[in-house]
Structure 1
Amino acid sequence: MAPIQSFPERLRSHRLAATFVLLGTLSAGVIAGSVLTGTVHGAMQQKTDTSDAAPLRIPPAANQPNQFTQIAKQVGPAVVNINTESLPKQSTAPKGRRGLSPRGGQGGDQGDMQDFFNRFFGGNGGPGGGDGDDDDDQGGPAGGERRALGSGFIVDPRGYIITNNHVVDKADRINVKLSTDSENDPGRPARVIGVDKETDLAVIKIDATGSLPTVKLGNSDGAQVGDWVLAIGSPFSLSQTVTAGIVSAKNRTEPGGGGSQFQKFIQTDAAINPGNSGGPLLDMTGAVIGVNTAIYTQSMGSVGVGFAVPSNTVIGVYNMLISPDHKVVRGSIGISFQPTISSAVSRVYGFAKGGVLVSTVTPGGPAAKAGLKPQDVITAIDGSAVKDGDDLVSNVAPRHPGSSARLTYLRDGKENTVTVTIADRNETAVAMNGAPDDDGTPGKTPAPNVSQDKFGMSVSTVPAEMLSRLKLSGGVAVSNIKPGSFADDLPLQKGDIITEVNRHATPNISEFESAIAKLKSGDDVVFVVHSPNARGAGGSSFVGGRLP
């Protein structure tokens, strides 16, 4: 008699049969499901009577204006789109010259600033187009024509527009499009009235055939953290874009330091992106309380941290830029100080309750003439306490050169008071270290552009302090060079000091213009040039060419 098998043993011995049974069951299930699905699908396709269904209709437009809507309609027409073009340059690298050190080795400020700020130059492409570069972005090959985009707003019906300096800086052509201009309209040509690099502001102008719409300026001191604000501009070439946010903070300085001491920003989380630069930041009355200038980002896009120059600063700079001199003049007493010091220093020098420790005193400057010395501590101006360096600068800078002020200071723990005469900050900066003035040139008095047509350059007076430092008896400073011009081809550079033209001494602008007036096309021209940036002895260089 055969032994009785357990169930598992029987299953293993009949594995093949079990497999077929399982497959058959699954197949039957699939077939049944297909039949049922086909039945349902067929039922869905059957025609149904829909005579009882009411068609949908577009309702009348609901007019639900809010404050944002009203402000956008009110201010939008005065916000403009700014397109700039930079023509091809011969070289982006400094041009070396025998006997002179390479230029631009100063380093520091601009590079450090770009580690934290990405300026709003966006591409002219559509959304997602443009690379988000910090200054210009639509360039072809190296050295080719470059295009950039920014925003601005009209403050005078005759066509005066406020924007950022970095929007128009180095631009050879500037075109402004109004909100009423068509999409294909290239815009109206604009010219620069004046710029202020310290605050990154600029004033440009277009010719107006009629009265243009304008914004109203507000008082930025009234803005409070938490207030609603709107930003209007042209991010990524999308003109008339409106975004909303709040005032996140006030009196911000550039993250990481290195920025201008005259830049105190309003911080906002209103979305601003490349192309917004130069556009207005508006409060809930529709008044401009700031100019959108920079963002803090690691992605080249908005992360909710934007910065705007306060309108009170903007108004002061604008008024100076539209003056006959078209430049910003700030007061100075001719000292330097360390922006940040430890509490131990303030205790040792006896000004724990506030004051400014003088680091250096400009030779021949107001403070030096008044008898101030390094390590003195300035505690008050005209009886108003000075708590730190920012307080000192904000008090002195708005004062007119030639006016006077009473300084209270500590020396060896004893309080003293003297009267100082306020000087031009540009002049004291040049006297202290040969630093360039606001337009980047060592001269302080721009000359008429009589040499512009012939050489493609402008010259200015060289300060006596710089002549003394370089041991020169006279000369004129190159203040501006037109790209691709005769002066650019030689090459001359901004800041060069010309002491001779064709063996004719040029101790001043009058002698320089007299010397070049005799030159004509085809003549050989030789300049004797000194570089204030050359290291070591420096010496003179001979730069020449044939005048085209």
Structure 2
Amino acid sequence: MARWKLAVVLVSCGLVAGVLLSALVPVSQADPQPAGAGAATKGRDPLSYRDVVKKVLPAVVYIEAVTRPVSRPRASNDATGETPFDSALRRFLEEQRRGMPRSDQAGSGAIIDPKGIVVTNNHVVSGADQVEVHLKDGRKFTSRSITTDPKTDLAVIKLDANVPLPYIELGDSDAMEIGDRVLAVGAPFGLAGSVTHGIISAKGRNLGLSGYSLYEDYLQTDAAINPGNSGGPLINLDGQIIGINTAIKSQSGGFQGVGLAIPSNLARTVVNQLAKDGVVRRGYLGIQMQDVDDQLAAKFNLGDQRGVVVMQVYPDAPAAKGGVKEMDIITAINGRQIADGRELQKAILATEIGKTVELSVIRDGKPEKLRVAIEQQPEDYGLVRAERGRRLPPGRSEPNIESTSLEKLGIEVTELTSDLADQLGYKEKGGVLVTKVERGSLADLGGLRPGMLIVKAERKNVDTPKALKDIVEKASLEEGVLLMVRTPMGGTRYMVLKGGSN
């Protein structure tokens, strides 16, 4: 059976000359009301969205991002001032435009304040010197007041308007439930003022854009979203913004029923800080963590308890200062149980910088309480990635490397030498390197790949192939073999390799 690869596509687009709809209905400029206020069906076709659409369209904008050409080469992030997130998005846009005339970025947005505050995506305006914002009534504003937050892919544009502008209120995304109807409004392919409809298909989606987008808690919708919809609003039937349309998941690069939007409750906190201060200040713990699933809970003898297992503690971070250690399992914060990393992340973000939180942890099977003072998150935290090292060819051994076979798992391993560590980008020198994974083996099905580094097995450090083999041979496949693995990109995770028998 063929395996389909799903591509994540950020839905901004390049400008296409002449593709911009002109205004059809003038909008009153006096005494503005929220664009979604009073959106009732008034006895008309109950399946029609006409009233909601008429109310919100005046506040949905089409954005053209204008970038001044630069003569210097884009040699590195340090040379250009770009973050890794900006660089990745720029490369994506350039790939999409390959074979087409060079053009600027474009997308959508929504006015959320009558004073001219526009919310959109960071990747719509990233690197722009100025933007042109087009309203449905034909007005056009040029602005250089652009503030961004790459960690959430949100941006704020301030318009210099002499009169109050139509706007849309930010609603409560937490109140939305799977199955609720929504409208996606924006300018797909430059077609300004386009509206599509659908439902909330899922909540709490994570794209796994590790190192680029630090906060992922997307609403999923089947309302059609295409290039150019980026930054546009996802609207509930009360005419309120409950999401900012951001990306699609697709096998073809076009919309296939899976659109993703940043929840309005996340956007509200970020947008308010960008509009007021121009920057976002947030607290952090400074750990790399993994959700505790049923298999990990069984291996750690947690019973029904859940939470997150600490995979790495960053030096000098608040967690390190508070005594958090690798392999601690965090089950609660300030006495409130957490189910997963997203709940812990939300709790930390809601904590005032400088405040102290109490973490309930399980360490070596015993409960402990730790007090951690929350500090302001460094600007580059979560966006800095390790340099990509050379990867081992999948499915076969690295030539001239003497490997040890672990047939029980279907892998071959070798000691991590200094030369191999340098080649693959590992900073640490300990651990056992995976050189080969047999297709269809337990290791293959569990996600182990050549080039990964096994640093612990059954919670014991392993520095030699023999040490790993001894532990694996004694372990029960029915209960599962617990491995801690690292990747050249700096990621760390636990995996349980489980089979029917030994």
Moved more, 78-87 or 351-360: 351-360
**Partner residue of 1:376?**
328
**Alignment of structure 1 residues 131-142 onto 2, 5 Å:** 140=101
**Partner residue of 2:59?**
78
Cα offsets for 1:367-403 (capped at 9, x unmatched) = 2222222222222111011232222212112212101
The one-letter code sitting in structure 2 at the alignment partner of 1:90 is S
Compared CA separation, residues 429 and 272, structure 1 to 2 (3 A): closer
Cα displacement (A) at 1:157: 0.8
Cα offsets for 1:185-204 (capped at 9, x unmatched) = xx311233421112111000
Please say if 1:164 is aligned against 2:121: yes
Compared CA separation, residues 217 and 300, structure 1 to 2 (3 A): same
Cα offsets for 1:488-528 (capped at 9, x unmatched) = xxxxxxxxxxxxxxxxxxxxxxxxxxxxxxxxxxxxxxxxx
SS at match of 1:243: strand
The one-letter code sitting in structure 1 at the alignment partner of 2:351 is R
Cα displacement (A) at 1:344: 4.6
Cα displacement (A) at 1:212: 0.4
The one-letter code sitting in structure 2 at the alignment partner of 1:88 is P
Please say if 1:268 is aligned against 2:221: yes
Cα displacement (A) at 1:308: 0.7
Moved more, 255-264 or 220-229: 255-264
**Alignment of structure 1 residues 53-92 onto 2, 5 Å:** 67-92=48-73
Cα offsets for 1:148-200 (capped at 9, x unmatched) = 21111111111110001001001122100111117xxxx31123342111211
Compared CA separation, residues 80 and 429, structure 1 to 2 (3 A): closer
Question: What is the root-mean-square deviation of aligned Cα atoms in Å?
Answer: 3.6
**Partner residue of 1:415?**
367
**Partner residue of 2:317?**
365
**Alignment of structure 1 residues 69-468 onto 2, 5 Å:** 69-94=50-75, 140=101, 146-181=103-138, 187-254=140-207, 260-324=213-277, 326-337=278-289, 339=290, 343-352=294-303, 353-426=305-378, 429=381
The one-letter code sitting in structure 2 at the alignment partner of 1:282 is I
SS at match of 1:153: strand
**Alignment of structure 1 residues 1-80 onto 2, 5 Å:** 67-80=48-61
Matched residues in 2 for 1:108 and 1:205: separation?
23
- Bigger relative contact order (CA 8 A; separation at least 6): 2
Q: Identify, as 1 or 2, the structure richer in helix.
A: 1
Moved more, 297-306 or 278-287: 297-306
SS at match of 1:242: strand
Cα offsets for 1:94-139 (capped at 9, x unmatched) = 169xxx9x999x999986x999xx8xx7xxxxxxxxxxx7777897
Moved more, 273-282 or 344-353: 344-353
Matched residues in 1 for 2:185 and 2:118: separation?
15
Unaligned runs of 5+ in 1: 1-62, 122-132, 436-548
User: Is contact 1:135-1:166 (8 Å) kept?
Assistant: no
Unaligned runs of 5+ in 2: 1-42, 387-502
User: Is contact 2:360-2:370 (8 Å) kept?
Assistant: yes
Matched residues in 1 for 2:56 and 2:257: separation?
23
Compared CA separation, residues 318 and 433, structure 1 to 2 (3 A): closer
Matched residues in 1 for 2:173 and 2:192: separation?
25
Bigger-Rg structure (1/2)? 1
Matched residues in 2 for 1:288 and 1:198: separation?
21
SS at match of 1:216: coil
SS at match of 1:426: coil
Matched residues in 2 for 1:137 and 1:238: separation?
21
Question: How many corresponding residue pairs?
Answer: 342
**Partner residue of 1:476?**
none
Matched residues in 1 for 2:299 and 2:254: separation?
46
User: Is contact 1:253-1:259 (8 Å) kept?
Assistant: no
Compared CA separation, residues 277 and 429, structure 1 to 2 (3 A): closer
Cα offsets for 1:427-468 (capped at 9, x unmatched) = 7949x9899xxxxxxxxxxxxxxxxxxxxxxxxxxxxxxxxx
Identical aligned residues as a percent:
39
The one-letter code sitting in structure 2 at the alignment partner of 1:155 is I
Compared CA separation, residues 109 and 350, structure 1 to 2 (3 A): farther
SS at match of 1:312: helix
Matched residues in 2 for 1:418 and 1:361: separation?
14
User: Is contact 1:82-1:175 (8 Å) kept?
Assistant: yes
Matched residues in 1 for 2:216 and 2:280: separation?
14
SS at match of 1:171: coil
Cα displacement (A) at 1:335: 2.2
Cα displacement (A) at 1:237: 1.4
Matched residues in 2 for 1:228 and 1:416: separation?
45
TM-score calculated relative to the size of structure 2: 0.61
Matched residues in 2 for 1:256 and 1:323: separation?
28
